[in-house]
Amino acid sequence: MTYNNFLLEGYWWLSLLGGLHCIGLGIYIRYLYHDRNGSHKLLGALFSLIALYFFTGLISKHNSPLPLQLLFILIVPVYFLMMPLLYLYCYRSLHNIKQQIRLSWHFSPALILSIMIGLTFAFNHDFRSYISTPVQNGLSHVTLLGSILPGLLSLQTAVYFYLIIRLLKQFRARSSRAHQNSLKDIKFRWLLALTLAMLVNWLVRTMLVILPFYFGDQVTVTAQAITRLCLLLTVYSLAIYGLKQITTSAYLRGSLSNQINDNSAKKASQQLLNAEELNYLQQIMLDEKNR
């Protein structure tokens, strides 16, 4: 087996493994782990999108129903949901919003791009003829879309990372002034770890895939494999860290509940003792009057 064949096979298995683990984690968060404010639904959708990213590594020119360039252009608008999901998850978690999750204007770029690309392909005669009898040089509008979409996605990602980091800084400043309890500190640390993990993976993908693409260099399978391996290791680390945070939160909630119950019992006993003393004093006063 040559090095290229070994690399392609490893890339395929890495994509399959990452996709299965992320979709399993997304299902677990969505249907088994329940957050009080319903934000777990956003987190589950986020990991499902990461699973889709992994599964695209299983697509090749041999099993793709469409030319790869066209298929990826149709898929890219879905990735415009990822950063809005992360922002809304952080925002709802920090502000403890318990209202039902509804369609937000943050999702409008993905919807608009999907409609525009769908209409472009549906009403373009050159595209339909390209599907039936592809030409050697492809389509000019496909090349244009393929060049614009990664840049737009990177721009959106940078803007949302700025908004999320600013949101975390504002919450940290307020919590330090108000002396928030440990449970909110745990939530903040989890959101910070999740944001930094996504930021690191975005930077790795930008350096290895996006920038070489725009500078005209060939994007190798090695670079794509490194980005997926980094993301898979990040998912494992987040899963372990999240489980640790859940365990710590449950322990603190139990400790706080026991402390509240003990304080209530102590107050009740103190109130009962004071009442007995008061009755005893009243009885003595009545006895003295009767004498």
Angle of helix 125-132 relative to helix 140-178, nearest 10 degrees, comes to 110
**Segment 8-50, tens digit of pLDDT:** 888 889 999 999 999 999 999 888 877 777 788 999 999 999 9
Predicted local distance difference test score (pLDDT) of residue 136: 45
**Segment 160-187, tens digit of pLDDT:** 999 999 999 988 777 655 445 577 788 8
Higher pLDDT, 62 or 268: 62
Residue 38 to residues 29, 34, 96, 263, Cα–Cα distance (Å): 11, 7, 10, 31
The answer to whether position 257 is within a domain reads no
Residue 129 to residue 142: CA distance in whole angstroms: 13
Q: CA-based diameter of the chain, in Å?
A: 120
Which H/E stretch holds residue 244? helix 221-290
The answer to whether position 114 is within a domain reads yes
Of the listed ranges 21-25, 264-268, 276-280, the least confidently predicted one is 264-268
- Does 140 have pLDDT greater than 60? no
What mean pLDDT is predicted for residues 55-79? 85
pTM above 0.85, yes or no: no
| Of 227, 233, 229, residue with least CA distance to 209 | 227
What mean pLDDT is predicted for residues 233-247? 88
What mean pLDDT is predicted for residues 130-155? 68
Task: Look over the chain and give the mean of its residue pLDDT values, rounded to a whole number.
Answer: 80
- Spatial contact of 139 and 126, defined as CB atoms under 8 Å apart: yes
The answer to whether position 61 is within a domain reads yes
Residue 23 to residues 17, 48, 49, 287, Cα–Cα distance (Å): 10, 5, 8, 79
The answer to whether position 95 is within a domain reads yes
The answer to whether position 133 is within a domain reads yes
Amino acid at 141: H
| All residues at 6 or more sequence positions from 256 whose CB lies less than 8 Å from its CB, including other chains | 183
Does residue 42 sit in helix, strand or coil?
Answer: helix
The answer to whether position 265 is within a domain reads no
Predicted local distance difference test score (pLDDT) of residue 192: 93
How many distinct structural domains can be found in the chain?
Answer: 1
Give the DSSP letter of residue 209: I
Dihedral angle sign, alpha carbons of residues 240, 202, 28, 64: negative
The answer to whether position 272 is within a domain reads no
Dihedral angle sign, alpha carbons of residues 66, 70, 72, 75: negative
Domain that holds residue 198: 3-236
CATH of the domain at 206: 1.20.1070
The answer to whether position 244 is within a domain reads no
Residue 18 to residue 119: CA distance in whole angstroms: 33
Which H/E stretch holds residue 255? helix 221-290
